[in-house]
Amino acid sequence: MRILTCSNSCPRWDADTIAPRSPGGLAPMVVSLLNEHGGHWIFTAPPDQPGVSSPIRIGDDIWLHPVEPGEELRHQHYDVISIRLLLGLLHYMHDTSEQPVFDSAMVDAWAGYEAVNQSYAKRLREVSDNSAGDELILINDPHLMLVPEYFAETQAGRASRMTYFLGTPWCEPDYFSLIPGHIRTRILTSLLRCDVVGFHAGRWVDAFLACCARYVPGARVEGRTVILGEHRTELIAMPFPLDTDVLDRMTEADATRRWQSKLAELAGGRKLMLRADRLDLWKNIPRGFQAYEMALERRPELAEQCWFAAVVTTPSRAAGRHQAYAEATEAVVRRINDRFATGGREAVSLIRPGMDDDSRNCVVAGLLMSTAAVVNSTYDGLNLFAKEAAYLLDDDASLLLSANAGADEQLGPFTVTVDPFDLGQTSEAMEKALTGSGGSGRDARRALLRDEHLDGWLTTVFRLG
C-alpha cells in the first residue's frame, strides 16, 4: 500500500523527517500515513520557501512535491477563489447583499484556480502507477476540487482508489446557488469522479447529497451513494481521529508545564474559561466575548472569580475581512477590560503563542487548568479543539460546544450545546459552567476518543477490507 496525497496544506521537512506545520487539519495525519506506508505528497509550496518546486526525497519511501504557482496564480487560486469564495460559501460567510460578485476579475481568478488544479493533476498523473488495491489517492481541501476532473480525464480506466475528504462544512443547495450554475455543477461533477467523498459529520454529507440531486444532471442519489453514468460515489461521515497518545505525552512535557505556570500567574487564582482558535471568520470569537460580557453585566463579581482567555493564531495570508475581524476581536476585548478589569488583572485576554513548536502546549496547559472550554463557531467542519477539550477536561469542567460544529455529532452527549448566534443563551451557559457543578462523563469521553485510530479512519474513507 502507498498513499498519494494532494493538499494545499504543506509539511515542514529536513533531510530525514517530515512534520506538520500546525496541529489541526489533515497534515498531521498525512505525516503519520506516509511514515507508515510511504508514498507521495503534493502540496502548494509554502510562502517561506517559494523557490522550492523540485521533488524532495525523505528517507527511502517518501516523496514531497511542492507546487509553486507564482504569486499571481497563488493570489487568484488561494486568496480569491479558495478562501474568499469557496470557504466563504461553505461556511455561510457571504453577505449576499454585496457578495459574491462574478465580474471579469472573478472570471480571471477562476481561470487561475483551474490552472493550479491542473498543475496538481499533472503531478498526480506523473506519480500514479494506477495499481488496483495498492495505491490510495487522498485529495483534501476546497482548494483542489477540480483535481479529480483533470486527473480522470486522461485515464481510460482507474484501478487505484480515490477519496476526496473535505474538512469543511458543506452548505445547503439554496446557499450553494450563490455561485454560477456552470461552476457549481462542475465542482460537484468533479468530486463525483472519486470513489468516496468524506466529511466530518453526517449533516455535511446530507447537504452535499442534496446539492448533487438538485444541480447535477443525470445524477441519482440512493441513500448515501450518488450514481452518475456508470460511476458510483459513496458519501461517508468519518471525523478525524484524535491522537490521544500525543496528548498524553504533551501533558507531561516541559513546555506544557512552563505554560501552566505562565497561565496560572495570569489567572491569579481565578477559574479559567478557555477557547483556542485561528482567527477565521467562522470561529465567532467576538460573539463569544460579547456573550461573556453579558454574563459580567449580570454578575460583575465574575471578573474577580473568573478569567476568560482565548488562545489565537493568525491565518497564514490574513487580509481584508480577516484583518477587520481581528481588529473587531481586539476592540471587544479592550472594551470588556475597560469595563470589568479588576485588581490590575484583565477580565478577558487574547493569548498569542505564535507558531512555535510549543504553541499547542499552551492549549494543552490551559485545558488541564480549565473550569470550562468554549467552542461557538458559526459553522465548523469539525473543530479539533473541541475533541482535545473533551479528552483533557476534568469531570468537574464543562465543554460548551456549538450546535453547528461538526464535532457536535460525535461529542453532543458530553457537552453543553450552544446556539452560536444567540448571545443570551451562550451567556447563560457560560455563567452556569463557571458557577455550577460542572460537567460529567470524563471516562466515557476519553474511552470514546481513545477508541479512534488512524488505521480505522483510513479503512473507512477508502472502504478497504
- Domains of the chain, with CATH numbers? 2-237 (3.40.50.2000), 244-450 (3.40.50.2000)
Query: Is the peptide bond preceding residue 50 cis, with omega within 30 degrees of 0?
Result: no
Interstrand relation of 348-351 and 372-375 (parallel, antiparallel or unpaired): unpaired
The total number of residues shown for the chain amounts to 465
- When pLDDT is cut at 50, 70 and 90, the band that residue 50 belongs to is low
Give yes or no for a contact between 120 and 190, defined as CB atoms under 8 angstroms apart: no
What is the rounded average pLDDT of the residues 40-50? 83
Closest CA to 430 of 444, 420, 440, 441: 420
Summarize pLDDT for 340-371 with one digit per residue, the tens. 999 999 999 999 997 666 889 999 999 999 99
CA distance 73 to 110: 10
Answer whether residue 306 shows pLDDT above 90: yes
Summarize pLDDT for 308-337 with one digit per residue, the tens. 999 998 877 666 788 899 999 999 999 999
Give yes or no for a contact between 414 and 439, defined as CB atoms under 8 angstroms apart: yes
* Contacting residues for 119 by C-beta, under 8 A, at least 6 apart: 67, 69
What is the rounded average pLDDT of the residues 190-201? 98
- When pLDDT is cut at 50, 70 and 90, the band that residue 114 belongs to is very high
Give yes or no for a contact between 139 and 111, defined as CB atoms under 8 angstroms apart: no
What is the rounded average pLDDT of the residues 77-103? 95
* Contacting residues for 430 by C-beta, under 8 A, at least 6 apart: 273, 291, 292, 295, 308, 372, 374, 400
* 20-53 burial: b if 16+ Cβ within 10 Å, else e: beebbbbbbbbbbbbeeebbbbbbbbbeeeeeee
- The rounded mean pLDDT for the chain is 93
- Element (H or E) spanning 138, and its range? strand 135-140
Specify the pLDDT at position 439: 63
DSSP structure class, residue 342: B
Summarize pLDDT for 406-450 with one digit per residue, the tens. 999 999 999 999 999 999 999 999 999 999 866 667 899 999 999
CA distance 412 to 401: 8
